[in-house]
Structure formats: structure tokens, C-alpha cells
Structure 1
Amino acid sequence: MTNDRKEKERAFFENGSMLLEKLIAICNGKSIPIRSFSDEELKQATNNYDARLVIVQDELYWKWYKGSLYGRLVSIRKFEGGVHIIEGRGLSNYIINDLVISAKMSAHKNVLKLMRCCLETQPPILVHEFAANGSLANRIQGPGGSQQHQPLTWVSRLKIAREIAHAISYLHTVFSRPIIHRYIDMWNIFLDQHDVANLSNFELSISVPEGETHVQVDILSWCVGYMSPKYFATGKVTEKVDVYSFGALLLGLLTGQNSNDFTQLNNGECVDFSKPKKECVGLVVCMQNGAQGRCIVDPTILAGEGRGSTIEQQLQAVVDLAFTCRKIESQIRPTMVGVTKELMRIERLVL
């Protein structure tokens, strides 16, 4: 037996063992069918991972490839080296977590459907349905994004916000124990050919233990601008951690900027991780004091929708909702069910 074959068998055994443990722990022993492709099949599907087939590459060295498997287009998610916060077997463990929760969430229409996986590699490779319009980050902020696609209208952005809010609400409420995503950002939202939003990447998702109000973690999410200050300081996770992150997502949809650029607010001050403090505070003051919300709106929204009173009302309502989601005290933040209902109300303002 060749060394390559031995490595594949060892990886398959280790990943399969972790997968079984995770299925038992998260799914209460219930069966979830998860099928696998071989490493060779995925290499053929991507022309040996041809760089020209990369549709998304995020800041954590994940690449999403456009592939073709048995006549069907797919999105193939593969980790490709570099320095990473999680290494070795630990990384595989997180991918297995992603795999299991993706399978549990596949019934939801706004989750990127998991098709299969490959357990012969370290870490495993995940195969999802094809996301024709790529990630929301690339669509709004990416190089050439506005040239490859029509700019996202305000109506589309509001719909995307509502769709993702609904998916997170589902994650929080449908299962026997709430599951917290912990990694909500634009890179983890994909758009199909009709710009329907699909949530992905559940590798950091975690369940609140039975009888507990929170869970303590050591590994934080990697998107600083999306983390609430208390989560960042204490590592305590509740559903309200996702609500804070969703507020950052709303700001990104409104402004067209990377939400990490907003950094974090602490009693109105800017905790400076990536931007000069003066610039960050200026943006914050504009949103908190500027009653119209107009000064922070992505110019492509204004170019497409104009300055009608309905758009003004919707923009201001979303600004207000974003800052309510980003309250320092978690108990003041709404639930994601409440956020979803508010977004539905804001959409109806157009009628």
C-alpha cells in the first residue's frame, strides 16, 4: 500500500470517528445521512483545484472552488495552508462541527445546502450546492464585484437581511437546545443566481448546555468587528452574541463597508482594532446623531433608489435596528425572532 493511500485511510478513520462522536453529541443519536466523495473525485471535479475555478477566498485561507460533479455544479470548500488559529486535528474537529450542523440545517431554505464531504483529507473538504453569485462580501466589497454583477439594490439588501435573520432565528429556536452561530459575517453568506441569501460556515457554532443560560468558550470568533465587547472580554456565549454580530451585518449592508472597519462601540467610544480612532468615531457619531441615516448609506443604494420618503423611513429604521442589536448590555438587545419580525415590518413600509 502506498504512503498516499495510508494517509487517506488514516484521515478517513480519524475524521469518521470525530464525525460519529459529533453526530451522537449534537443529534441525540438520531441518524443524519452524510455521504462522501473521494479525494480523487473532487480533484477531477475542480481540474486538480485549478486556481481559475476559485469563486471565493476568505481571510482565513479557505477557498471555495466551482466544481462539476456528475453533471451538477457545486461549491467545494477547501482549507489551503497558511498560518491558522486552529491547527492539526483541532481544525478537522471544527470542520466536522460545520459538517454536522450544516446537515441539520439543510432543511432551511436560507442555508447553503451541504451535499457531501470528503473525509480522506486533513482537514475534511465540504461540498455544497453551487452559489452562482458568490459571497455577499465579494458582491458588496470585493474587487470588481460591482462590475461582475449588477449592484445590490436596497430592496435586495433588505431581503437578504431578513432571510439571514430568519435562518439565525431557526438556529436559535428549532432544536432542543439553542445553537449559536458565532461566525456571522459577509464572507459566510452566499447568494444564488436570484440573489437569495444562504447562511454557511457553522464551524464555530455551539449549543447551550441543557439547564444553562450560556456556554463558556476559549476560541473566539475571528471577526473582531462582529464581536460584542463582553463576549470579547469574557468568552461567555449566548444567543445575543449572534444578535450583536447581526447588527454589524446590517451596518455592512447599509454602508457597503467591511463591518470590521466599524470596530466595536464601548459606551460610544471606538475600540481601535483596524481604523484610526477619529475615522471610526466620525462614522459612529454620524449614525447616532444623524437622524436621517443618509450620511452613511452606500452611494449605490442612493443611485438606484433615489430619495423617496419610503426609502428614507426604511434606511432610518434599519440604522435604528442595527444599533439596538449592538447595545453593550446583551439583555437590551432583541432576540433574532424579534429582529426578523422588525425587518418584515420595515419591508412592508414600501406598500
Structure 2
Amino acid sequence: MAGKKRDKERERAFLDNGSKLLEKLITYCNGRPIPIRSYSCEELERATNNYNPSHLFHRDGKYEWYNAVSAKMSTHNNVLKLIECCLETQIPISVYESAANGSLSGTFNVTSDHDGAQHQREPLSWQSREIAHAISYLHTAFSRPIVHRDIKRGNVFLDQHDVAKLTKFSLSILIPECETHVEDDVCGTALFLCPNYTTTSYITEKVDVYSFGSFLLELLTRQKLHYLLRTDYFDVEDFEDDIKKFTINELVDPAILVGEGGSVLQQLQCVLQLAVICIEKDPEMRPTMVDVIKELRKIERFIL
């Protein structure tokens, strides 16, 4: 009897969680295999060794992320690909391609040599450029631009080769065809939210540009924004204006710059200037993500 009850609960959950949506996907694909397949509860339990804590690599509020399925199916190398799901549980389970090295939320870009010595990786050679590519892809690769709305370190995962992957698209929204913006409730992460969006509820691609600028500032300073704002440097209300007054030497921990040559310092100063432009209060003053990528490439070539 317990087994029958369990089966009925799973069937009900499957219907509630979107079996109809999967049926529509099959119809839209004209009988071709759909890109997202459905796992059973038993398959996921086997893959995670019954959700063994040793497989847990990230917690985000009420969500837990487990390493289990190894796959490489992303249409863009810097977007974490959703490949499977399980609709048999009360809370649906999503299965993504492997992100073996976890999230950036708990650490800044620190790596270890073979001898165990830690060192800082160059910010431009890693997360900033790769995530800029991912955001630009969302903005330009489809008939209607997709705005992520929650660009931050906690939504960037790393695969086994430390390739940065943008994920967590639950707040993403499409801009309607032939429209320049869409209106929606304000949601996202404080300090990464575009001021114009919070006052008007208007969403454009420039909302993501602002968040990316804040993301860049965290990478450059190796400080979380809310820690940076606790200093005497900045007024929360005028953060975008206050940041313009400082050089890279004044914002970055001096220990990070020890031994760096003048060209690297100039490069970092250029990145700071780019971040400042991205968080301009007026969205029209911000660059597009395509322009951001061009500028990052130009800055990289500066020291090559």
C-alpha cells in the first residue's frame, strides 16, 4: 500500500509540475527528441548516492546543488545548460551540466599551485570576459532579447576547467518583439539593481549592464559590494558618483598589487573605468554588452 501511495503522490506531482509543458514541447519539436529529458526520482537518487552530502557543492537559500551528472551540452560555452529535470517530487528538480568547481559566491578568484601555494588569477583572463560573452549572447542571439536580471558572483559557476558559467535564469525576462523595454515587478539583488529599473519598473538590456558593472567592481576590489559600502568612501545613495573619484590603487587591497608592473595597474584602472561606465545612473550612458566585450578585448591586448 505504501508503494501505491508513493506512486500516486509522484503522479500528482508530475502533473502539477508541468507534464503538460513537456507534452507541448514534444508537439513543438514535431516528434523530434526534445532537448530536455525527464529523470525519475530513482535515477537522481542513484546519481547523487541518495543525495550524499559529499556531492553537495552549493547552497542558495532553500536550494541545494549536487554534483552528479557529467555532461557538456551548452549552446554557449559560458551559459550553464539545463539538460534534464525531475517532475516527480513536490519541488521540481533541475539537472544541469557539470559545474564541478562550484560557485563564485563563497570566494574571489583564488587558485592554488601544485605545491599548494595560493595566488590571485588575473580578473580579465577569467570571469569578467566570459560572463560578458554570456550576457551578450542572451541579449543578441535570439529574436527577442533576454534580460537575466540577477548578474552576480553567486550566479556564476565554474566547471572542472574553471570556465565561468552563468546560471539561475528564474528572473530572466523576454523583451517583447518590436518593443524597447518590458515592465515587471522589481526583483533581483540589492546593490546590483539598476536605479532606473527600481524607480520605473522598466526593464531593458541596460539592467544587466548595470549588474555586470557591479560584478566587475567586486572582482577588482576583491570585496563584496555591501562591505565596500560600509567604508567611509561611499554614500549608498550616490555610490555611482562616488566611485568615479577613486583610482585603482585606492580601491584595491595593496597586497593584491604587490609585484605588479605599471602596465597591469593601467589595465586594472581601465577595467575600473569600464565598470564605472556600466553603472552610470542614466541607462542611455551605459554601453551595450557587445561594446563591453570589445573594450575588455582592447584592455587585454594592452599588456600583451
TM-score, length basis structure 2: 0.85
**Residues 186 and 197 of structure 2 are in contact (CA less than 8 Å); yes or no, is this contact kept in structure 1?**
no
Task: State the match for 2:251 in structure 1.
Answer: 296
Q: Which amino acid in 1 is paired with 2:275?
A: A
Task: State the match for 2:293 in structure 1.
Answer: 340
2:43 pairs, out of 22, 32, 41, with 41
2 CA distance for matches of 1:323 and 1:177? 28
Deviates more, 1:242-251 or 1:309-318: 309-318
Give 3-state SS (helix, strand or coil) of 1:140's partner: coil
Task: State the match for 2:235 in structure 1.
Answer: 281
Q: Percent identity?
A: 49
1 CA distance for matches of 2:179 and 2:128? 29
2 CA distance for matches of 1:300 and 1:54? 33
1 CA distance for matches of 2:166 and 2:283? 23
Q: Which amino acid in 2 is paired with 1:288?
A: K
**Residues 287 and 296 of structure 1 are in contact (CA less than 8 Å); yes or no, is this contact kept in structure 2?**
no
Taking the TM superposition and a 5 Å limit, the aligned residue runs for 1:1-351 are: 2-17=4-19, 19-20=21-22, 32-58=34-60, 60-67=61-68, 69=69, 73=70, 106-140=74-108, 150-154=118-122, 156-221=123-188, 223-262=189-228, 276=230, 278=232, 280-281=234-235, 287-290=243-246, 292-299=247-254, 301-303=256-258, 306-351=259-304
Q: Which ranges in structure 1 are unaligned for 5 or more consecutive residues?
A: 76-102, 263-274
Q: Which amino acid in 1 is paired with 2:212?
A: F
1:184: Cα distance to partner?
0.8
| TM-align CA RMSD | 3.1
* Superimposed CA distance per residue, residues 197-220 of structure 1 (whole angstroms, 9 cap, x where no aligned partner): 111111111100112111111251
**Residues 56 and 64 of structure 1 are in contact (CA less than 8 Å); yes or no, is this contact kept in structure 2?**
yes
Q: Which amino acid in 1 is paired with 2:287?
A: P
- Higher-Rg structure is 2
**Residues 233 and 242 of structure 2 are in contact (CA less than 8 Å); yes or no, is this contact kept in structure 1?**
no
Q: Which amino acid in 2 is paired with 1:206?
A: I
**Residues 188 and 199 of structure 1 are in contact (CA less than 8 Å); yes or no, is this contact kept in structure 2?**
yes
2 CA distance for matches of 1:62 and 1:240? 28
2 CA distance for matches of 1:157 and 1:22? 42
TM-score, length basis structure 1: 0.75
1 CA distance for matches of 2:303 and 2:273? 18
1 CA distance for matches of 2:252 and 2:125? 13
Matched positions, count: 295
Q: Which structure dedicates a bigger proportion of its chain to helix?
A: 1
**Residues 155 and 166 of structure 2 are in contact (CA less than 8 Å); yes or no, is this contact kept in structure 1?**
yes
1 CA distance for matches of 2:278 and 2:15? 43
* Superimposed CA distance per residue, residues 141-162 of structure 1 (whole angstroms, 9 cap, x where no aligned partner): 8xxx7689944412x5543211
